[in-house]
Structure 1
Amino acid sequence: MDRLCVRLSYGARLPHVRRDLLDRARDHRLMFRTPRKGPASQMLSLLAVAAALAAAVAAGGYAYSEAAARRFEVSHPPAGRFVDVDGVRMHVIDWGPRDAAAAPVVLIHGASSNALDMRAALAESLATDRRVLIVDRPGHGYSARPDDGWRLQTQAQLIRGAVTRLGVERPVIVGQSFGGAVALAYVLNHPDEVGGLALLAPVSHEWPGGVAWYNIASGVPVIGIVLRRLVLPIYGPMLAAGDFASAFSPDPPPADYAARAGGLLLFRPDAFRSNAEDLRRLKAQIIDQQSDYAQIRTPTTIAAGLADTTVSPAIHAEELARDIDGAELVRLDGAGHPLHHVRQREVVEIIRRTAARARRNADAVAE
């Protein structure tokens, strides 16, 4: 029995087992043994795993954001026609009789919005007796966006191109909020092509402060991509109701606002990037533009909600009315920012009155 005992030390003599076989077995084990990793090697392994996980999350987020964007577009497909302007595809909703005697109207939407917003509020009431064009600003809704699409003059020029190609002459330009800044750029650059100007809570003058953090973050490399591709498609629709309530305050938003105005289209990654870039770059352009308002001779009406906490009437509408000779300022007591929704009847009347002033002005010039 002693001879059958196995000693644990290497090299013990075993019956019927040759020493060279033990050596080979030991060498085989050493050959395939995983070497012990040092701290640096372990860190590299962890980083590799983290990178792989990050890549998987990014790929999944990209796929999700693309799927979400398609869902938003399926629920709110293009409602108008496409017009090529200098190689840029512009989306225009064209309503009303084309042979109407009344002055045509062009509606320019504000920030975080699209043409469906203006259509929901104003198109049906205005298009009973006149042609109404509602244009998606470049990068919003379904309009394409050139590299300099953030510039007010570029946006105005592309909208003008669409209006011209559709055969509309000397329209009344209606701009809401950010769209008011674009409308002002339009009339400053093409004064003879604008019959009248109706501005609803327009952004027109330099204001204190900046823009929301998420609009700044959208322009930061890597962070912006994560925000637009991973965060917004998931959480944007969840937060939309609160954002709408804040924008409409002190009035409640219409119950069907998101559905009718296509609000979820903003949360497509490219649309949000365009909107954020517009807002980041707006203030510097306003500072350059505001000194030219005294040149405007077009019949102009400015509407301001006195309870507007988004675009201060004192900073913008009041100053603009002083800058433009002959401008009419309409103060709407208790109204917030989206006047075209919360004071729809008054706004329609303002636009019609501006169109009538434009017609009288044109007749006087003709005589």
Structure 2
Amino acid sequence: MNDSLKKAAATTALVGGGLALWTALAAGASEALVPADGDFVDVPGARLHYVDTGGDDPTVVLLHGIYGQLRNFTYALTGELTDHRLIVVDRPGWGHSTVEGDHPTIEVQARMVADLIDALGLDRPLLVGHSMGGAVALAMALNQPSKIRGLALIAPLTQQMTEMPAIFRGKAPPAPLRGLAAWTVGVPLTTLTGPMVSKQVFAPDAVPMDFGTRGGGLIALRPSSFQAGAAELTDANRALATMVPRYGAIRLPVAILYGRDDELLDPVSQGDVTAGEIPGATLTRIGGGHMIPVTHAADTARWLRTATSA
């Protein structure tokens, strides 16, 4: 090896080591700032972290979106629903929930949540899904309908997307490269672009100053979160291609809520179209963007009470 190649190899190793150190420090800090809040239950293929608020029925199980965790709901929404028993879950592979092997598909996540419902002895709770959590909720309605009594979908991903939202481009490398990307460029890139991405996800609403800790946003600064996000961004269209043709067979009550000004998912193609495909489904719009469980918690809770009484 000549001197120039040796220098290039040394530089590459130095940069890679520095990025890996950045990643490790960021991951450790994020977990310290956003520790586990609740309990854990083991289901086949996963160990799921959840918070049980206790109280009487009706029981509601809540699933967050991509790059999220259960504090997306405990930030504000759960405080508006103290008259319900709420089971708020870190989806498999997110937050403090761990999985065995590769990140599970949308359908496998639904099965894992169904197993959690069984493990906790819940009697057909209402299932709430926000954003990507909405896709998981729909998968359960299609594949494990006896486990739940209905769906309440908040700004859900329900249809295939012709192109990935701009803020997620570059975050879904091919599967063989995800581990390397996660431990080198993934977390530093997320750290640097995080404020801009959050602003776009919340738009037109403002990002709460304490969302990183109280809302769990900082937990995304881990290599496992980068890999989970890459897997779901890649898998979503595949899963929805098989799910959408079956929507007409759903016989559970389904209510859909969208912010009128959602800039991440289109309320018409993701909301109106799907409401028209599911028998009896209803669609409601309120003011706000994609993160209405955080920014418009009182309005979201009022809608959810209507869904729970259906």
How far did residue 163 of structure 1 move? 2.0
What corresponds to 1:215 in structure 2? 171
Larger radius of gyration: 1
Cα pair 1:85 1:158 within 8 Å, conserved: yes
Instruction: Report the AA paired with residue 71 of structure 2.
Output: L
Report SS of the residue matched to 2:52. Answer: strand
Q: State the distance in 1 between where 2:144 and 2:119 align.
A: 15
Question: Which stretches in structure 2 are left out of the alignment for 5+ residues?
Answer: none
SS for the counterpart of 1:215 is: coil
Q: Is this contact kept in 1: 2:61–2:88, CA < 8 A?
A: yes
1:109–1:117 CA contact under 8 A, matched in 2: yes
1-side partners of 2:187 and 2:241: how far apart? 34
In the alignment, the residues of structure 1 paired with residue 16 and residue 161 of structure 2 have an alpha-carbon distance, to the nearest angstrom, of 38
Structure 1 residue 104, shift from structure 2 partner: 0.2
Q: Is 2:160–2:236's contact at 8 Å kept on the other side of the alignment?
A: no
Match of 2:52 in 1: 94
Q: Quick one: structure 1 residues 251 and 230, their matched pair in 2 at CA, closer, same or farther if it must change by over 3 Å?
A: same
Alpha-carbon separation, structure 2, partners of 1:233 and 1:248: 21
The corresponding residue for 1:261 is 215
- TM superposition score normalised by structure 1: 0.79
Note if 1:203 corresponds to 2:157. Answer: yes
- In structure 1, the residue matched to 2:135 is 181
1:156/1:199 Cα in 2 relative to 1: closer, same or farther (>3 Å)?
A: same
TM-score by length of 2: 0.93
For residues 176 and 5 of structure 2, the distance between their equivalents in structure 1, rounded to whole angstroms, comes to: 21
Aligned length: 308
Equivalent position to 1:354, from 300, 304, 307:
307
**Secondary structure of 2:200's aligned partner:** helix
Cross-structure match for 1:131: 85
Structure 2 contact 129–137 (Cα < 8 Å) conserved: yes
Question: 8 Å contact 2:117–2:147 — kept in the other structure?
Answer: no
Corresponding residue number in structure 1 for 2:21: 63
- Give the deviation of 1:207 after TM superposition: 2.5
| Deviation (angstroms), 1:58 | 2.3
In the alignment, what sits opposite 1:338? 291
Matches within 5 A, 1:1-367: 44-97=2-55, 100=56, 102-126=57-81, 128-147=82-101, 149-211=103-165, 212-217=168-173, 219=174, 221=176, 224-225=178-179, 227-332=181-286, 334-357=287-310
**How far 1:75 sits from its partner (Å)?**
0.7
SS of the residue corresponding to residue 171 of structure 2 reads helix
1:93 is paired with a residue of what secondary structure?
strand
Of 65-74 and 235-244, the range deviating more from structure 2: 235-244
Equivalent pair of 2:65/2:131 in contact (CA under 8 Å): yes
Unmatched runs of 5 consecutive residues or more in structure 1: 1-42, 358-367
CA distance in 1 between partners of 2:102 and 2:172 (Å): 18
Per-residue CA shift, 1:210-256, capped at 9, x if unaligned?
35322233x3655x455422334334334322211111111112222
Could you tell me how far apart the structure 1 residues matched to 2:250 and 2:175 are? 38
Whichever residue aligns with residue 66 of structure 1, its letter is: A
Q: Within 2, Cα distance between the matches of 1:258 and 1:331?
A: 27
Which residue of structure 2 lines up, in the alignment, with residue 16 of structure 1? none
Report the alpha carbon displacement of residue 274 of structure 1 after superposing the two structures with TM.
Answer: 0.7
Residue type of the alignment partner of 1:58: G
In structure 2, the residue matched to 1:31 is none
Moved more, 48-57 or 84-93: 48-57
- 1:8-42 per-residue CA deviation (whole Å, 9 max, x = no partner) reads xxxxxxxxxxxxxxxxxxxxxxxxxxxxxxxxxxx
**Structure 1 residues 118-164: Cα deviation after superposition (integer angstroms, max 9, x where no partner):** 221322222x2221111111111011123453411111111111122
Q: CA deviation at 1:71?
A: 0.9
Cα distance, 1:272 vs structure 2: 1.0
Equivalent pair of 1:215/1:280 in contact (CA under 8 Å): no
- Distance in 2, Cα, partners of 1:164 & 1:69: 32
Higher relative contact order (CA 8 A, sep 6+): 2
Amino acid at match of 1:280: T
Cα RMSD of the aligned pairs, angstroms, is 1.9
After TM superposition, give the deviation of residue 180 of structure 1 in Å: 0.5
